[in-house]
Structure 1
Amino acid sequence: MAEQLTIGELASRTGVATSALRYWEELCVLPAPVRVSGQRRYPPSAVGLVGVVLLLRDAGFTLQEVRAFVESRSPAGDGWRELYQRKLTELDQRIAQAQVARTAIAHGLACPHEDIFECANFAGGVAAFLAGSSLEEAHEAIHSH
């Protein structure tokens, strides 16, 4: 039988807590390992799979998306490309939102008022936001005149 890793050994090799590994197994992010005398035994390839989970998580994927990614693997499958495309679109939207927020905050820092609550532009932006405008629309409205 090939080398098998205990959950503690897998945790040690990957830097992931055993509780997280159990949780990922519960969510089907990691396949259920074989059991020897009631203890989990992972194949050496589990180290790489945990690395994939960590990489995708750091790239912004949720654990549910990671599970879908892992499940999409097949010799003829291209399902992972669709998952990547959806995540790329989502990240582009988040980047655009972050850029709008950054611009609005930078403009707030440039406000000449000692107390931003006394600034007519700030109050106008808050009013526009409360009226249903997005942050971008509210920011544009106060700087368009």
Structure 2
Amino acid sequence: MSELRIGDAASIVGVDTHVLRHWEDVGVLVPPRSATGQRVYDDEAVSRALVIRRCQRAGLSLAQIRELRPADDDARRVLIEEHRSRIMDAVDQLQATGRFLEHLLSCRHAEITECPDCSGFAADPRPSAVQKRRLARAI
């Protein structure tokens, strides 16, 4: 890939040009500049922009994404592990909700409270990932 102007880079990343300018303002993506002062998006800058976009889609804020750049591997690992844990907890909750809704499609009880299966879904005893971390800190 050759060096691109901001509009072409924004198109590849799937964002508007003002988004790339904002990312530069907050320090998560600082592309090199040409001799005339224009932003130049080389392969590295476009790759970084795509990673930033993926991180945003995963729910990371720009401040968190900025924290991923420093060389402090321990802080980076903690940030990633905590965020991944929240995502996995959300996935577990969505899967449980999916199973509950699937059951509701075939449930023949007039009231949900009369159905032992529905009551079982409502009384899920598994602690969430957040609850597990809180318990671990309390010990």
TM-score, normalising length: structure 1: 0.60
**1:31 equivalenced with 2:23 (yes/no):** no
1:67 aligns to 2:66 (yes or no): yes
After TM superposition, list the pairs within 5 Å mapping 1:10-25 onto structure 2.
10-25=9-24
Q: Does 1:109 align with 2:105?
A: yes
Q: Structure 1 unaligned segments of length 5 or more: list them.
A: 123-135
1:17-46 Cα offsets, whole Å, 9 max, x none, are 212212322333223764865x64135221
Q: Which residue of 2 aligns with 1:139?
A: 122
Could you tell me the percent identity over the aligned residues? 27
- Aligned partners of 1:102, 1:5: CA distance in 2, in Å? 44
Alpha-carbon distance, 1:106 to partner: 2.0
SS at match of 1:112: coil
- Name the Cα RMSD after superposition: 3.3
Report the structure number with the largest CA radius of gyration: 1
Higher strand share: 1
Q: How many residues align?
A: 118
Counterpart Cα distance in 2 of 1:43 and 1:60: 25
Please list the CA deviations of residues 27-71 of structure 1 after superposition, one character each: whole Å capped at 9, or x if unmatched: 33223764865x64135221121121123233443333222213x
1:29–1:67: 8 Å Cα contact kept in structure 2? yes
Alignment correspondent of 1:53: 52
Deviation (angstroms), 1:83: 1.9
Change beyond 3 A, Cα 1:139–1:13: closer
Find the residue that maps to 1:30 and give its secondary structure.
coil
Gaps of 5+ in 2: 125-139
